[in-house]
Every structure is written in C-alpha cells, then in structure tokens.
A and B are shown apart, each in its own frame.
Chain A
C-alpha cells in the first residue's frame, strides 16, 4: 500500500469515528433530534473537547512511539522510557500538595514544569556524545528518580483525600476535560510534532546504525535534542491534561509498520493518525461500558489491552522474526 493511500484510509476512518464518538455516551444524542437533553451543551462542553483531546493525545502518543522506536532502533521502545512521563506526573503530584482546588491551571503547569525538568536533566546527563545507549540509561535514571520522588510525595501527602485524588488522576482519563485542557495539549503537541518531523531523515539514517548514520551526515547531538524536545513536549503536555496513558505508543507503530515500507519516516504520519483513532475508540468504549461506579479509566483499559499485545510481541521476538 502506498504511503498516501494508507494515510487517506486512516484519515477516512478518523472522519467516520469522530462524529460517532460525539453521539456516544451515557446520554446518547440523536442526530435527528439534536435539541433534546441539552444536547448542544453536552456536545460543545463535554464531548467535543474530549474528542479533540483524544485525537490530539492519541496522535501524539502514536507519533512519539514511532519516533522512539526509530531512535532507539528497538521495536519494544515506548515514549514512556525516557522518564518524561514520570517527570510530568511528579509535577502533577506536587500540585496536589499546594491544593489542586485552588486553581485549575495549577496541575497542568506543574506537570509541564516536571516534564521540562526531566527533559533538562536528560539533556544534561546524556549530552555531548549523543550516543543512544547512554541516553537510554539516562532516561531510566530520570525515570526511577521521578518515580521515587513521586512515591515520597504520595506517602507524605497531607490528607487521605489528596492521596485518593492523586492515585485516581494517575490512572489516566479523558473524562470531564474542557477546552482549557485542549488549549494546553494542542499547541504543545503541534510544536513537538514539528521537532520530530524535522528529525525524520536522521531517523531513517539510524536504520543502518549509529556509525553509518553519522557518516550519512546525521549530527547525533541535534537529533538527540530534537527527540528530547519532541517527545518531551508531546508526552509532557499529554500527562499534564490526562494523566499517564500507556501502551498506545508501543502498539500503534507495530500495527502500522507492516502496511508501510518500514522506513521510520514512513511510519510517523500513519502512526499519528492510527494513534488518534485508537485512543478515540478506546475512550468511547470506556464511556459507554455499563459499570456500576462511574466509567472505566482509559489508562487502565489501555494497559489491560496492551499487556497481551506486549506478550505477542515478545513471542514474535523469541521466534526471531524480523520487523
């Protein structure tokens, strides 16, 4: 399948699912009788921002997943690897300390600060050489540091109420989001996507290994900064508005790869669209599943879906199949 046909097909799927997602939910909206049940209110203030967020975050996760797998030359890489998501989560957790209710802007701002801190730390530790192995280790270190600090913050949390709030938030969801979150996520995701798109040729060259990529004119340091900025902005803003949503970045590039010529740059756009599609569908399913208490958290649903997928990948790898 050619690149263009694949992208158009995925876009068509997205164009079909977006309107459907607007109708689905606890209150089903009848498109033929739109004025019942405060339909326009629900559409404009609940469903539409939620759909836009799902598309933005899903696209961001798919794109960063494809970029990370290309950068690390590893099909099991995930945008969560570099500690940017834990960094953002740490920032968010700290905002609960200062009193989440005080200002609705506080949490995303803190989360973005946390993500920037993680990015900065990563750039400082890894810097200079631009080697991928060192960079991955630095990411793991940042990740475990942020994780430990987050546990510390939770264990010292001022009230049990705050602790519950933190834990629920960390599970990742798109419920009860508004246009405010959209205005945080969309610009950051676009900026991050620009950085990653600029790195696409370097990611292609990395197919041949670091030495050959350098000989093909790739500057490892520039590439590293592009990846840090791209993944940091997208994942940082994503965690800031929706908590941690895993596995999309791992799964989507795998589903898309066999449909492309497997060149990393060919994977970026279709992964973004497919990620948007996956997150939108998953969010709708979470919304309409009849659960007794509220709705299934999106983060949990995707993790439940992702684990068997991961297992299949591992089994494939054990058989020595190629990517």
Chain B
C-alpha cells in the first residue's frame, strides 16, 4: 500500500509533484524554507485544496466517505501545535480517539493505553500539559496521533523543538511504528536526521521535486550544495553521517544573481 501524488499542483506553492510513500517505511520531505514541504504534507493528509493532479491511496484516488473516515486513516501532527486548555496528558491522548467515538469503550481505552505506553508516558499521565518539558510535550502530542491507530503517520517537523537525545528517541519510535506496518511521512529540516533515519527522501525546492529516492542518492553533496546554497560535505559512514558546511560558494551567488 502506498500514499502517492500524481502531478499535484497547489497554486504557486507546489508544481507538478509526483512522489510515492510506502507503508513500513519512513519518508522524509526536505527542502529550504518556503519549498512547499508543509503544503505537500497537508495534501497527503487530505487537508489541502489542490489546483490540479491527485493524491492516490493504494491504487485509487484518495476519497473518503466522511472527514471521520479520513481521520481514521491519516494521522496528522501539525507543526508546533499549541494546546488551548491545560488538560492532563491522558486527556490529550484521548482526543486521538475522537474519530472512533462510535467504537466500544474498551477498545478506545486500550488504544489510549497503548499510545501512552508506546511513548513512555505512564508516569506523566495525570500531569497537565503546561507542566511538561518540550520533549515530554512532543511525546504526548505524538501519542495523541498514535491513539487514533491510523494507517499513516504524517508529522510536520516533529523534531523541531527537541534536543539531540529526545529527537533521537522520537526517531526510534517512528521507526518502531514503521516496522509495525504504518507509513511514516515526516517533514524534516535537519538533513543529517533525514540522511541517517529515512528510507526515502523527497527534496523539494520552490514547489518542485528536485530529488526523490534513498537518502544517499537524494541528498548528495551536489544537491545539498545547490538547493541549500552552501558548500556542504557528508562525513562519516552511511547511517552515521554528519554534514559539514563551509561558507557560501561563489557558484551559489551566481545562481542567485540569475534568479534576480
């Protein structure tokens, strides 16, 4: 089963984007600011009006009977979500069951428990959101998405506010979810994370797909240098790559002049 776009365009923000994300894999969407990463993710979450092209779920164009059915399939974590009321972690996670409000109470309770333990939140279940650290909060918000038990996890910069250790821990949990057969699609701005943890990387620039494939071929030194306009070099072995960046190259300055 795959989640794919065919010649998808959204105004000027996305142009003719065709990509494919597979279940059981982590797909990373990368690109400089304003490349259209979040727009592409919300298209995959079926939350965005498109100009042309279509989103495919499996063999067929994505179409759901109701917003509720869509919510059961696609779990979406927006960028830097704020929580309006100071609810406890347990209550926050239980919001993920709203698309299943018709399901038996026992089933819902079990899903909430599973999500809480998958994110190691047992100790924090009664703590109000306002008293969580950044990392705990990110885990709680992720548990909310997991509680829905969707086929697909779509997260917009889930690591944005996390330090190194918490970020790595969250990536391990995404890997677990992928191994359980879910499709995981992440917008990532940290290229090293994408390089080391994703199975497939889509690089966007100015609304167009520049590269699409395994990280070693999609995030080559040339592509990173050209798209992010810096002289970049990968160090280390596959799986443990680090990005070394030098000052802007004369080539990139030339590129910018041409654009102007």
Q: Is the CB of B47 within 8 A of A214?
A: yes
B168 within 8 A of A: no
**Closest chain A CB from B77 CB (angstroms):** 7
A209 within 8 A of B: yes
* A219 closest partner in B (C-beta): B67
A207-B84, A208-B144, A261-B91 given as contacts; is B47 within 8 A of A217 (CB)? no
- B167 contacts which chain A residues (CB < 8 A)? none
Q: Which of A207, A211, A264 lies in contact with B78, CB distance below 8 A?
A: A211
Q: Is the CB of B76 within 8 A of A212?
A: yes
The answer for the CA separation of A217 and B97 in the assembled complex, in Å, is: 11
Q: Which of A201, A211, A214, A263 lies in contact with B85, CB distance below 8 A?
A: A263
The answer for the CA separation of A208 and B98 in the assembled complex, in Å, is: 12
Enumerate B69-123 residues with CB–CB distance to A below 8 Å.
69-72, 74-78, 81-88, 91-92, 95-96, 98-99, 101
Q: Is the CB of B83 within 8 A of A208?
A: yes
- B128 contacts which chain A residues (CB < 8 A)? 262, 322
Q: Is the CB of B67 within 8 A of A263?
A: no
A209-B82, A211-B47, A262-B86 given as contacts; is B95 within 8 A of A217 (CB)? no
Enumerate A33-92 residues with CB–CB distance to B below 8 Å.
70, 73
**Closest chain A CB from B53 CB (angstroms):** 21
Q: Is the CB of B86 within 8 A of A216?
A: no
- B247 contacts which chain A residues (CB < 8 A)? none
**Closest chain B CB from A19 CB (angstroms):** 36
- B129 contacts which chain A residues (CB < 8 A)? 322
The answer for the CA separation of A322 and B74 in the assembled complex, in Å, is: 30
Q: Is the CB of B84 within 8 A of A216?
A: no
The answer for the CA separation of A252 and B86 in the assembled complex, in Å, is: 17
- B83 contacts which chain A residues (CB < 8 A)? 207-208
- A217 contacts which chain B residues (CB < 8 A)? 66-72, 98-99
A261-B91, A262-B91, A322-B128 given as contacts; is B85 within 8 A of A207 (CB)? yes
Chain B interface residue count, Cβ-Cβ cutoff 8 angstroms: 36
A201-B98, A201-B101, A207-B95 given as contacts; is B85 within 8 A of A215 (CB)? no
Q: Is the CB of B98 within 8 A of A216?
A: yes
Q: Which of B47, B92, B130, B141 lies in contact with A215, CB distance below 8 A?
A: B47
Q: Is the CB of B95 within 8 A of A204?
A: yes
* A261 closest partner in B (C-beta): B91
- B96 contacts which chain A residues (CB < 8 A)? 216
Q: Is the CB of A209 within 8 A of B71?
A: no
* B66 closest partner in A (C-beta): A217
- B130 contacts which chain A residues (CB < 8 A)? 322
Chain A: interface size category: 20 to 34
A-B contact count (CB 8 A): 81
A323 within 8 A of B: yes
A218 within 8 A of B: yes
The answer for the CA separation of A214 and B47 in the assembled complex, in Å, is: 7
B42 within 8 A of A: yes
B45 within 8 A of A: yes
- A276 contacts which chain B residues (CB < 8 A)? none
Q: Is the CB of B144 within 8 A of A215?
A: no
Q: Is the CB of A207 within 8 A of B98?
A: no
- A207 contacts which chain B residues (CB < 8 A)? 83-85, 87, 92, 95
**Closest chain B CB from A130 CB (angstroms):** 12
A10 within 8 A of B: no
* B80 closest partner in A (C-beta): A209
| Cβ contacts A197-210/B at 8 Å (1 or 0 each) | 00001001111110
| Cβ contacts A256-267/B at 8 Å (1 or 0 each) | 010001111000
The answer for the CA separation of A44 and B144 in the assembled complex, in Å, is: 53
**Closest chain B CB from A29 CB (angstroms):** 44
The answer for the CA separation of A42 and B63 in the assembled complex, in Å, is: 63
Q: Which of A70, A209, A216, A261 lies in contact with B99, CB distance below 8 A?
A: A216
A215-B47, A215-B75 given as contacts; is B81 within 8 A of A73 (CB)? no
* B148 closest partner in A (C-beta): A216
A201-B98, A215-B45, A217-B70 given as contacts; is B81 within 8 A of A261 (CB)? no
The answer for the CA separation of A218 and B70 in the assembled complex, in Å, is: 10
**Closest chain B CB from A271 CB (angstroms):** 14
The answer for the CA separation of A205 and B85 in the assembled complex, in Å, is: 11
A211-B76, A217-B68, A262-B91 given as contacts; is B101 within 8 A of A322 (CB)? no
What are 10 A-B pairs with beta-carbon distances under 8 A?
Answer: A208-B95, A211-B42, A211-B78, A212-B81, A216-B99, A217-B67, A257-B85, A261-B91, A262-B88, A262-B91
Residues of B within 8 A of A (CB): 42, 45, 47, 66-72, 74-78, 81-88, 91-92, 95-96, 98-99, 101, 128-130, 141, 144, 148
Beyond the given pairs A201-B98, A208-B141, 16 more chain A to chain B contacts, judged by CB atoms under 8 angstroms and listed by A's residue number, are A73-B84, A205-B95, A207-B87, A207-B92, A209-B82, A211-B47, A214-B47, A216-B148, A217-B71, A217-B98, A218-B67, A257-B85, A261-B87, A262-B88, A263-B91, A264-B85
Q: Which 5 A-B pairs have the closest CB atoms?
A: A217-B71, A215-B76, A322-B130, A217-B68, A73-B84
